Amino acid sequence: MLTKAAALAHSVIYHSNSKMDKLKEKPDELTLIGKGRSAYVFAFTDGDKQKALKVFFPEFQATALKEAKIYEKLSGSPYYPDIYETGDTFILMEYIKGYTFYNCLTKGISINDGMIQQVEDALSEARAAGLNPSDIHLRNLILTKSGAVRVIDVARFNQSKTCTQWDDLKGAYNTLYKKPVFPKKIPAFWLEAIAFLYKKNWFQKSFSERKKKYSS
């Protein structure tokens, strides 16, 4: 007999030939709260608790299993979501309320040294667990109401190649964002433009030179 989470996950149907809006059908009980490259995330209420159900696209079934194993290694850490159940196409996890760092920038919510240090501590914990934190970006760092920072989307934490995204973000924070004249509220289209240019390696040289000065 299927668990509630498994039944809900198997009831989510994706378009097989769409790259933009892949969702074709879902139970009314699920509310779409996030879209990623390999999965969509839905919120639903289970008893008196709200939970997040990450349902992977059929072609990313292997990613679901891989990410579940990574979360298992991070179990007990205050920086990563609690995992309640995993399956061949889904992960049922703690629903973390708050603003992503991306939201913070678009809404003008200040990012400070303490938040940056919490990310550093989270990544250090992952390394101590034998992982290689990778693909850290503004949308997988969440600031909660209590001021705690949580990290989500860890599927690439077991890749072998070096990823400099977090070091580059930290470099931009230290060399640009912390300057008094730098705007603390940034329009989304500017963030998207910066992300596009970053992926094209336009900013890497500049950040890699400056981050040496601020790396800890």
Half-sphere exposure of residue 10, counting CA atoms within 13 Å on the CB side? 10
- Please say whether the beta carbons of 12 and 55 come within 8 A: yes
CA 191, CA 92: separation in Å to the nearest integer? Answer: 30
CA 64, CA 37: separation in Å to the nearest integer? Answer: 12
pTM reported for the whole predicted model: 0.88
- The number of helix segments (H) and strand segments (E) in the chain equals 7, 10
Assess whether 135 carries a catalytic annotation: yes
**13 has which bridge partners?**
25
Structure tokens at 170: 């930290």
Exactly one of 48, 135, 153, 168 is catalytic; name it: 135
CA 82, CA 212: separation in Å to the nearest integer? Answer: 34
Task: Return the C-alpha torsion angle 41, 65, 86, 26, nearest 10.
Answer: 40
Chain position carrying tokens 């839905």: 42
Tell me yes or no: is domain 99-214 CATH 1.10.1060: no
Gyration radius (Cα) of the chain, Å? 18
Geometric angle at alpha carbon 35, from 208 and 112, rounded to 5°: 45
Q: What was the pLDDT predicted at 207?
A: 55
Per the annotation, binding residues are 66
- Digits of tens for pLDDT over the chain (216 positions)? 899 999 999 999 999 887 778 999 999 999 999 999 999 999 999 999 999 999 999 999 999 999 999 999 999 999 999 999 999 999 999 999 999 999 999 999 999 999 999 999 999 999 999 999 999 999 999 999 999 999 999 999 999 999 999 999 999 999 999 999 999 999 999 999 998 888 877 555 555 555 555 555
| Close Cβ partners of 185 (under 8 Å, ≥ 6 residues apart) | 105, 106, 107, 108
Q: Coil, strand or helix: which one is 214?
A: helix
What CATH class has 4-94?
alpha beta
Per the annotation, binding residues for ATP are 66
Domain extent listing, the chain: 4-94, 99-214
